Chain A
Amino acid sequence: MPRCLQFLILSLAFLSAAYAGDPAGTVTVESNLARKQEPRQQDRIWSGVILATNPSTPPKPIPPELREYEARLKHMFGYSQFEIVGSSTEVIDEENGRWLVPSQRYSLNIKARRAVSKEARGGYLLNLELFQEKRLLVVMLAKVAPGSPLFFRGPECGKGQIIIVLQVLH
């Protein structure tokens, strides 16, 4: 939709709302409490451990979770085949942290809170810790929009590479 059309629609909506002066639109303590008690849309976070290789045989088709990023993954990492070794999905809990254990070897401890910046588009500010078994590898603060995976280039594995991916699902 063109931006000018969006602006026109928003302007008309604003004018009609201002003219009508609907008291239902006013924010009160009661409405805030009621909204707080409503069940909030449950965003989830998905993590996967990917094994990237260059097989001698024709590569296996890329898993559907990564299909959108196939060309970019090949370009960025230089591998032709990407297999998901393990994955994990959890509901985001802003009050308590969540553990994601996509494989026995790798796990992530994630504390998420809603990002207010415009470019995050309702995404999250993630305070995450990446573990290799019991060893803490890195602590990180990252802003992630829904549907925008964050990739970690991990250690080499055989003739390939371990890649860890983290994505917010809206």
Chain B
Amino acid sequence: MIPFEERFTAWVDGQLKGTDLESFEKELAGQPEVFAEKEAILRLGTFLREHPTAPPLGNADLFNHQLMQRIEAEIPRAKQPISRPVFFWPLRWMALAGGLSLAVAFGLYETVVPPVSEVPGKSNYFAQVVEAWPSDPSISATTVYDSDQNMTVVWLDGLDYVPAAYAQK
């Protein structure tokens, strides 16, 4: 025995033929609302076939945005990924930058900071004669640097004797 719903669906779709159709319509003879429902279904089907495409979206971006917000709101919070603290540089890069900074600092230190005398008792004495030109061939100028005494002396020879009284002036 075929259920009533199946026979009704077949009847609306026009698939009931012959004796099945006659016997089903006899069953429905006293129920005019069933015929009215069939008419309504057929009208709806005709309407849907005549308007097969969806209406164009007025603002697709807003629609997508609202849709995504709704989807995100429906995702359980427990399933969201745990946010991790973000560093500006990875540790390896920071170590590399620190090493480079130390290298540059060492270079600056070696070139800019004057070395401290490490010999105890020696001062930072520095006096150097680059060149000396005596004005007269009879005069000689010899530079003497005594490393033990850490002292530079220009030895001028060939100068005129100075009387003792002159120094008292």
Contacts and interface: CB of A to CB of B under 8 A. Distances in A.
B140 to A, nearest CB: 9
Nearest to B162: A157
Contacts of B169: 103-105
B113 A152 contact: no
Nearest to B142: A153
B154 A121 contact: no
Contacts of A69: 151
Contacts of A85: 167-168
Interface in B114-148: 114-116, 123-136, 139, 141, 144, 146
B101 A15 contact: yes
Contacts of A14: 101, 104-105, 108
Q: How large is the interface on A (under 10, 10 to 19, 20 to 34, 35 or more residues)?
A: 35 or more
B160 A118 contact: no
Interface string A142-154: 1111011111111
B164 A157 contact: yes
17 contacts: A3-B115, A7-B105, A14-B105, A51-B167, A76-B144, A119-B128, A138-B154, A140-B129, A140-B154, A142-B127, A143-B128, A147-B123, A149-B127, A151-B151, A153-B154, A155-B162, A158-B163
Interface of B: 98, 101-102, 104-106, 108-109, 111, 113-116, 123-136, 139, 141, 144, 146, 149-156, 159-169
Given A121-B114, A145-B125, A147-B124, 16 more contacts: A11-B102, A14-B105, A68-B123, A75-B146, A76-B144, A85-B167, A119-B114, A119-B126, A132-B160, A135-B135, A137-B134, A143-B127, A143-B130, A153-B155, A157-B166, A162-B162
